[in-house]
Chains A and B, each alone.
Chain A
Amino acid sequence: GAVVSQHPSWVICKSGTSVKIECRSLDFQATTMFWYRQFPKQSLMLMATSNEGSKATYEQGVEKDKFLINHASLTLSTLTVTSAHPEDSSFYICSASTTGNTIYFGEGSWLTVV
C-alpha cells in the first residue's frame, strides 16, 4: 500500500515554544491530508482537513491559531503547535487520501510538553 511518513516520531518541548510535525506522502500525490489527535485508549479525533494550496478546514472546537496547518505541496503537510502547553501533549497522526479516496495513515508523532 501507499506510504505516509511522519516526522518526528516523538518530540519533547518546553511550555510556550512551538513545534512542527511533518507529514509526507512518499509514493503518491495527496491533494488532501488529514490531521488527528488521539488520546490514550480513545478513537481518532479529526482536527482539520488540509488541502494543497488552500487554507485548512478545522473541526469545531479546534483552535486554528494554535494548530497551524500548511499544505505547501502535493506530498507535504505540516502541523505546528504554537505556544505549546502540557495539555497539548498527545499523539498526533496524519493521513493522506489517494485517488479513489483510500486513506493511509502516518506512524504518528508523540508530543510531550514539559
Chain B
Amino acid sequence: GENVEQHPSTLSVQEGDSAVIKCTYSDSASNYFPWYKQELGKGPQLIIDIRSNVGEKKDQRIAVTLNKTAKHFSLHITETQPEDSAVYFCAASMGNTNAGKSTFGDGTTLTVKP
C-alpha cells in the first residue's frame, strides 16, 4: 500500500519568514495530494491540493509543488503569521478511484513566533 513520510515533525519560524514542509510517497499510482491544517481540538481543514497533471499550484501565501519522478511534494508558506501556527498534514491518494481513500503523513507542528 501507499506510504507517506512527512518532514520535519516540528518547525519553528519567525513571523514573516517562509516555512517549507516536505512529503514523499511510495505508490506511483497516487495522483491526488492535498494538504490540511489542523488547529487544536478541530478537524483538519483543506488548505490546498494538487493533482498529478500539475507541477505547482499557488493560493496567495500558500503554494504546493509536486515532483512525480522523485515522488515528493512540498508545502510552502510565505510571510508566515502567528495564525499559521497549527499542525499540517500531507496526504496522497488515487483520486480518481477508490473514492479518495487517503494515506496521511504524520503531521508537522508549525510554530510561528511573533
Counting chain A residues whose Cβ lies within 8 A of the other chain, the interface size class is 20 to 34
Cβ of A51 under 8 Å from chain B: yes
Number of interface residues of B (CB under 8 A): 23
Binary per-residue interface labels of chain B (52-88) against chain A in the complex, 1 for a CB within 8 Å, 0 otherwise: 0000000000000000000000000000000000000
Task: List, in ascending order, chain B residues with CB within 8 A of A107's CB.
Answer: 42-43
Closest to A4 in B: B43
A→B interface (CB under 8 Å): 1, 4, 6, 31-32, 34, 42-44, 46, 49, 51, 91, 93, 97, 100-108, 110
Task: List, in ascending order, chain B residues with CB within 8 A of A1's CB.
Answer: 46
Cβ of B101 under 8 Å from chain A: yes
Binary per-residue interface labels of chain B (29-40) against chain A in the complex, 1 for a CB within 8 Å, 0 otherwise: 000101010000
A106 touches B43 (CB 8 A): yes
B→A interface (CB under 8 Å): 32, 34, 36, 41-46, 49, 89, 91, 93, 95-96, 99-102, 104-107
Name the prevailing secondary structure of the A interface residues. strand
B99 touches A97 (CB 8 A): yes
A49 touches B99 (CB 8 A): yes
Closest to B47 in A: A1
Q: Known A6-B43, A103-B34, A106-B43; judge A43-B99 contact (CB<8 A).
A: no
Shortest distance in angstroms between A109's beta carbon and chain B's nearest beta carbon? 9
Most A C-beta atoms less than 10 A away, residue of B41, B99, B104, B105? B99
